[in-house]
Chains A and B, each alone.
Chain A
Amino acid sequence: GEDVEQSLFLSVREGDSSVINCTYTDSSSTYLYWYKQEPGAGLQLLTYIFSNMDMKQDQRLTVLLNKKDKHLSLRIADTQTGDSAIYFCAESRGNQGGKLIFGQGTELSVKP
């Protein structure tokens, strides 16, 4: 069945790099997304990657996709305290833009 898995917690020091990992099962997903959620708020799209790409870089964010292993990662360079939030990996369901399958979310804690 369809499933997206993430580890629940990650703690890093300010200035270090953070790497958040995700595995998914649906090989037909065309896009994979990373969303950020701050406490008590909605979700904000951080970045996405098309399934035929291996890597995408956007300022401090780098997304790596290993389609063979169905593994997705988000690297945040020079992590700041303002990056503390929950990060969700999500895969699209075929061509349905807002129909997403979400992972459980990884809570990133950045310590000064």
Chain B
Amino acid sequence: DGGITQSPKYLFRKEGQNVTLSCEQNLNHDAMYWYRQDPGQGLRLIYYSQIVNDFQKGDIAEGYSVSREKKESFPLTVTSAQKNPTAFYLCASSVRDRDNTEAFFGQGTRLTVV
């Protein structure tokens, strides 16, 4: 089935360690996005990529990094510079740069830093 897959579902890391969250899609979408969700704050855009080998910062990019070496994959690294990394992370994809395009979301990764 076509869809967007995030792994793992739950992730625990010690403070000061970098951690990489996986996002893979087989929808043939050009655009991919990472959002962070905190209770009572909705979703905020971290990074997005409109095409392979290109990506742009979103509203809260500090402390995060991404790569887009393949169309299907858009991994997010949470670095030790991110002050409050514990959150629910959602990856999404859509047809590139068009209005009224549904953004398909993965099931999310809950990251807990202890």
Q: Does A99 contact B (CB under 8 A)?
A: yes
On chain B, which size bracket covers the interface? Answer: 20 to 34
Chain A hits for B103, CB < 8 A: 43, 45, 97-98, 100
Interface window among B38-46, B63-71, B77-85: B38-46
The answer to whether A98 touches B93 (Cβ under 8 A) is: yes
Nearest opposing residue in chain B for A100, CB measure = B103
Nearest opposing residue in chain A for B9, CB measure = A40
The B-contacting residues of A in range 95-112, CB under 8 angstroms, are: 95-100, 102-105
On chain A, which size bracket covers the interface? Answer: 20 to 34
With A42-B90, A88-B42, A102-B43 already in contact, the answer to whether A95 and B98 are too (CB < 8 A) is yes
Cβ contacts A to B, 20 pairs, < 8 Å? A30-B99, A30-B100, A42-B105, A43-B103, A45-B102, A45-B103, A88-B42, A95-B98, A97-B98, A97-B101, A97-B102, A98-B31, A98-B33, A99-B45, A100-B43, A100-B45, A100-B103, A102-B44, A104-B40, A105-B40
